[in-house]
Chain A
Amino acid sequence: MGYETILVEKKEQITRITLNRPAALNSFDDKMGEEFYRALKEAERDEGTRCLIITGAGRAFSAGEDVSGLKERYGGDSRPSLGDHLRKKYHPMILRIRNMEKPVIARINGIAAGSGASIALACDIRIASEEAGLKQAFIGVGLVPDSGSSYFLTRTLGPGRALELIMTGRTVGAKEAENLGLVNQTVPGTELDNVVNSVAEKLANGPTKALGLSKRVVNQVSRLELPDALEYEAQNQDIAGKTKDHLEAVRAFLEKRQPKFSGT
């Protein structure tokens, strides 16, 4: 089934999902939420996809929730349950990005606000254009951070700086975001594709199983005590040690050549 609100392109084991509602700054209406989630699921299942890029069309990465869609739910005395809305629409996609055992790159081409920032923060690696920015837009509409924003910000920045961004709702420019560790790299807009594609190619030709297991380990260890984290690493190393790619790397090392990874 095709998509109306997103673009999905696949080239040389790299799948790129582009949020494609540029006139609405790629804000998430329910349709785009549903299509984006479906595309994530397909990319995860597709064995030919060894790296995923998420980006936006036009000047924004994503402005977050499309508030205009919520309008009719505020009629009379009625208020929608925002919690249920999040559980249904955003939680599955955030968890899917975090748990997918292949690398996911956020190509942050422009502003990433609200749940749009959450999606960028849920990715494994963030590469931003100099014109881009991250914005905790929630407080501006009298709400709290959601879709994982508070979680990712607090783990990256600590509570003090996380709360500053959450409470002021100010836009953090790409360069500052890089200095804070919120994005891995900031590059001029004209360079964005070159840099993102070269990182993606490298990852797509990497030992996919070990990349996925690394992500699994990083996801888990933050909630473990050191002895349990050590054990968890050891269990996953046992699994990685049995992959074809590990054997290939050992052989390549002995034969003094570059390994050729199959992802298995």
Chain B
Amino acid sequence: MPFSQILVETEPPIGIIRLNRPKVLNALNFELLRELVEALEAFDKDDRIRATVLTGNDDAFSAGADIKELSEATPVDLIQRNQFALWDRLKKTAKPIVGAISGHALGGGCELAMNCDIIIASETAKFGQPEINIGIMPGAGGTQRLTRTIGKFRAMEMILTGQPITAREAEKHGLVNRIVPIEAYFEEAKKLAMQIAQKAPVATRLAKEAVLKAFDTSLEEGLQFERRNFYLLFSTQDMKEGMKAFSEKRPPQFKGR
């Protein structure tokens, strides 16, 4: 499957997707998003891949929507293009995504970062929702995910002033897992993805699903959901292998079954 806006590599058990429009700071056009979703869905179906690293380059994860593409769009274009359907598919990615983020993560870039399950940022990363500066507002989950992540007041300030925050601030407010030097963020993200890829694939999948459920449900419903996924895992071969390996004091050999 040829891609023109992203670079896709596989280093089983992990997959690596790099946003690849460096000249425009990886601005998200429709084509890039479509390719990204297709690549993630392909990884979801690929048994060799158990976790994905999503990254840009040192200068930019993504500086946001492609303003040129947007400024010429009519509401009818937007409806027909139905870009948000792509974001909905993105949200449904089943395997864990580790974001390796450096430089600009602004607007749609920040929203894309928040679609990751874990974020490793370089010291130079910068997160923001600057849409307000051009007379619009976040449209791909920014108002919802940012608020649920860093709280109402900080989210409100970022979204209403358009002012970005530094990696250090993002770390303090829980928007990133940790910060590492710029030379090391990608390797660190890979290491983490590799660590996750050693776990039982069905368990990581159901665990991810259960954590994300916390955004959508009451505690009671969430607990019910968790319990169902928990019971479900007792039907897997990997569960038996995991427990056996534990009592035999050896590393488990998970098969994803």
Chain A contacts to B: CB under 8 angstroms:
213, 216, 235-236, 238-239, 242
**Roughly how many angstroms separate A236 CA and B181 CA in the complex, as a whole number?**
7
**Roughly how many angstroms separate A175 CA and B100 CA in the complex, as a whole number?**
50
Q: Is the interface of A mostly helix, strand, loop or mixed?
A: helix
B184: CB under 8 A from chain A? yes
In the assembled complex, which residues on chain B have CB atoms less than 8 Å from the CB atom of A238? 184
For the complex of A and B, 9 pairs with smallest distance between CB atoms: A239-B183, A235-B180, A235-B184, A235-B181, A236-B181, A239-B181, A239-B184, A238-B184, A216-B181
Q: Which of A213, A238, A242 has the most CB of B within 10 A?
A: A238
**Roughly how many angstroms separate A213 CA and B181 CA in the complex, as a whole number?**
10
- 0/1 interface trace, chain B 154-194, chain A, CB 8 Å (1 if under): 00000000000000000000000000110110001000000
In the assembled complex, which residues on chain A have CB atoms less than 8 Å from the CB atom of B188? 235
Chain B residue at minimal CB-CB distance from A242: B183
What's the interface size class on B, roughly? under 10
Chain B residue at minimal CB-CB distance from A239: B183
Give chain B nearest CB distance to A182 CB in angstroms. Answer: 28
Give chain B nearest CB distance to A101 CB in angstroms. Answer: 11
Chain B residue at minimal CB-CB distance from A220: B123
Chain B contacts to A: CB under 8 angstroms:
180-181, 183-184, 188
Q: Which of A213, A216, A235, A242 has the most CB of B within 10 A?
A: A235
Give chain A nearest CB distance to B125 CB in angstroms. Answer: 15
**Roughly how many angstroms separate A242 CA and B180 CA in the complex, as a whole number?**
16
In the assembled complex, which residues on chain A have CB atoms less than 8 Å from the CB atom of B180? 235
In the assembled complex, which residues on chain A have CB atoms less than 8 Å from the CB atom of B181? 213, 216, 235-236, 239
In the assembled complex, which residues on chain A have CB atoms less than 8 Å from the CB atom of B183? 239, 242
In the assembled complex, which residues on chain B have CB atoms less than 8 Å from the CB atom of A213? 181
In the assembled complex, which residues on chain B have CB atoms less than 8 Å from the CB atom of A235? 180-181, 184, 188
Give chain B nearest CB distance to A195 CB in angstroms. Answer: 33
**Roughly how many angstroms separate A251 CA and B92 CA in the complex, as a whole number?**
52
In the assembled complex, which residues on chain B have CB atoms less than 8 Å from the CB atom of A236? 181
In the assembled complex, which residues on chain B have CB atoms less than 8 Å from the CB atom of A242? 183
Give chain A nearest CB distance to B194 CB in angstroms. Answer: 16
Chain B residue at minimal CB-CB distance from A228: B178
Give chain B nearest CB distance to A3 CB in angstroms. Answer: 28
**Roughly how many angstroms separate A213 CA and B183 CA in the complex, as a whole number?**
11
**Roughly how many angstroms separate A139 CA and B135 CA in the complex, as a whole number?**
46
Give chain B nearest CB distance to A224 CB in angstroms. Answer: 11
In the assembled complex, which residues on chain B have CB atoms less than 8 Å from the CB atom of A216? 181
12 contacting pairs across A/B (C-beta < 8 A): A213-B181, A216-B181, A235-B180, A235-B181, A235-B184, A235-B188, A236-B181, A238-B184, A239-B181, A239-B183, A239-B184, A242-B183
**Roughly how many angstroms separate A236 CA and B188 CA in the complex, as a whole number?**
12
**Roughly how many angstroms separate A216 CA and B180 CA in the complex, as a whole number?**
12
Chain B residue at minimal CB-CB distance from A238: B184
Give chain B nearest CB distance to A216 CB in angstroms. Answer: 7
